Amino acid sequence: MIKIDSLDHYGRGITKIDNKITFVENALPEEIIEVKIDKEKSKYIEGSVLKYIEKSKQRVNVDCPYYNSCGGCNIMHLSYQDQLKFKQEKIENIINKYLKEDIKINNIVSCDLNKNYRNKVTFQVKENIGFYKNNTYEIINIDSCLISDNLINKSISYLKKLNLKDINKITCRTVSNKLMVIIETKNNNLDITPLTEIADSIYFKIDNKYIHKYGDKYIYENLDNYKFKISPDSFFQVNINTCLKLYNKIKEYVGKNKNIIDLYCGTGSIGIFVNENNNVIGIEINEQASKDAIENKQINNLNNINFICGDSGKKLKELYFKPDIIIVDPPRSGLNKETIDNILKFNPKEIIYVSCDPMTLVRDLNILKDNYNIEEITPFDMFPNTYHVECLVYLKKYM
């Protein structure tokens, strides 16, 4: 029997076995448990719960029948308010440890819908359809997913009617009650008849090429007064509820009558959302996403925003445009050195940084803080029931 002391940044319980730090999935502070050792390294142990002797008051019953084996959700056994507390403390701990400065961290912005919020899901397929079992390539056959959009869940029974032996993956995207399905296959003649009863758009992905097979070529999402085209491979936030809250906070920082550069702009959603009474240039490396951004500009009848396809770091130095603000929303890997160097050369008055990984965020902030004051950081719960946290950082040039 051992007692769990705290949680790590991945939501695992932390304890010690034979003076060696031990991480235990699905274990909460103050719980007394029997542990099964799954993996032992020179500096740590990874384990799982054999039996709960005493359970935490924070623990809630999980409705998902796949929770103990699926690797998708990590902290569904915490009440939603305790999930928010865990994420708030996680960000505070990381910021305080790695930046070592008195930085204002706002309260985490919650999600109004902590289940059925995901509008994009990729299913693994190998005779069955589902998700990988935690830390394996074994597929758990599922009938529904508690964090996936209801329409995606409804589609699973139709997907199972396909010849799954010819399919590697299936991605489902939903917006405004429309369903797009992308089937990764080698069989260009795969029968999709069962799926036409529920899908509005169907694509095959063969050798990394998208082939339109049925219905609408695109689906469209609305954010406030703006409309956005969604292609099979274009990036769009998976949680529209929290996304809207995030974008409104960015809009508050931006204000009006500003020149703005929007790096890693995807389909142009942030730049378009904050374009009113501003001039915006967006840069995106993904060719299809960049084309979608240009079309989104046209759909929304905008003439004060332009998009460039290319690497953010390289294209930035080619611009003859003096920005007041640079917005960055990089991938999990954060900003590379070239991008940071070119941002600093432009010397904008303000930087707005959207991050999905707090560790790469603090790495980049440690460089930017020599020239910019970190005014405040706001965590957003973009991914309820998982350990992931989105952060919005507002930086101002030192006077």
How far apart are the C-alpha atoms of 262 and 289, rounded to whole Å? 14
Q: What confidence tens digit (pLDDT) does each residue in 194-232 have? A: 999 999 999 999 999 999 999 999 999 999 899 999 889
Burial class (CB in 10 A: 0-12, 13-18, 19+), 267: buried
Q: What confidence tens digit (pLDDT) does each residue in 275-320 have? A: 999 999 999 998 888 999 999 999 999 999 999 999 888 888 888 8
Q: What confidence tens digit (pLDDT) does each residue in 151-186 have? A: 999 999 999 999 999 999 999 999 888 999 999 999
How far apart are the C-alpha atoms of 381 and 254, rounded to whole Å? 22
Q: Are 202 and 184 in contact (CB under 8 A)?
A: no
Q: What is the pLDDT of residue 312?
A: 84
pLDDT at 384 over 90: yes
**DSSP track, 303-346:** SSEEEEES-HHHHHTT-----SEEEE---TT---HHHHHHHHHH
With H, G, I as helix, E, B as strand and everything else as coil, classify residue 279: strand
pLDDT at 121 over 90: yes
With H, G, I as helix, E, B as strand and everything else as coil, classify residue 372: strand
Q: What confidence tens digit (pLDDT) does each residue in 35-50 have? A: 999 999 989 999 999 9
pLDDT at 236 over 90: no
- The residue whose two tokens read 């890997």 is 333
Q: What is the pLDDT of residue 68?
A: 87
Angstrom distances, CA of residue 305 to CA of 33, 41, 163, 277, 281? 57, 52, 45, 11, 6
Average pLDDT, the chain: 94
- The stretch 67-95 carries a mean pLDDT of 94
Joined tokens for residue 275: 């374009």
Q: What is the pLDDT of residue 136?
A: 84
HSE (side-chain half, CA atoms, 13 Å) at 80: 11
Selecting among 64, 172, 243, 356, the annotated active-site residue is 356
pLDDT at 25 over 90: yes
Widest distance between CA atoms in the chain: 66
Dihedral sign, CA of 178, 184, 188, 191? negative
Strand 259-263 versus strand 279-284 pairing type: parallel
Query: Which of these, 145, 149, 116, lies nearest to 132 by C-alpha position?
Result: 145
Told to judge if 391 belongs to the known catalytic residues of this protein, a careful annotator would answer no
How far apart are the C-alpha atoms of 251 and 223, rounded to whole Å? 13
pLDDT at 235 over 90: no
With H, G, I as helix, E, B as strand and everything else as coil, classify residue 386: coil
pLDDT at 133 over 90: no
Joined tokens for residue 62: 């999980």
Strand 201-206 versus strand 178-185 pairing type: parallel
Confidence band for 75, pLDDT divided at 50, 70 and 90: very high
* Rg value, the chain, Cα: 23
pLDDT at 101 over 90: no
Q: What is the pLDDT of residue 100?
A: 81
How far apart are the C-alpha atoms of 183 and 172, rounded to whole Å? 9
pLDDT at 192 over 90: yes
With H, G, I as helix, E, B as strand and everything else as coil, classify residue 275: coil
How far apart are the C-alpha atoms of 124 and 159, rounded to whole Å? 12
